[in-house]
Amino acid sequence: MTKSRHPEKINKPFNPIKKKPSWIRSKILDTKVFFKTKEVVNQNGLNTVCQEANCPNITECWSKKTCNLYDNG
């Protein structure tokens, strides 16, 4: 499976995603719910704002069954 990227990021391949510092990351509130949300997103080939922005708080949102989709078409 190839990761879908925003067209602007595809056109600028020399702009790597920078790693966020460990202190900025939130904790997973409910691992079962987080991984179920991740499974639903991946199985349906959905693009989320969280993934595209490399959001450090994705674990917090997905643990609450929350994600924002975007249309890259």
Q: What is the pLDDT of residues 9-62, one digit of tens each?
A: 666 666 666 777 777 766 777 889 889 989 999 999 888 888 888 888 888 888
d(CA 28, CA 45): 23
pTM (two decimals): 0.58
Instruction: Quote the CA–CA distance of 19 and 67 in Å, as a whole number.
Output: 21
Residue 51 CA to residue 41 CA, distance in Å, equals 10
Backbone angles phi, psi at 42, to 5 degrees: -70, -45
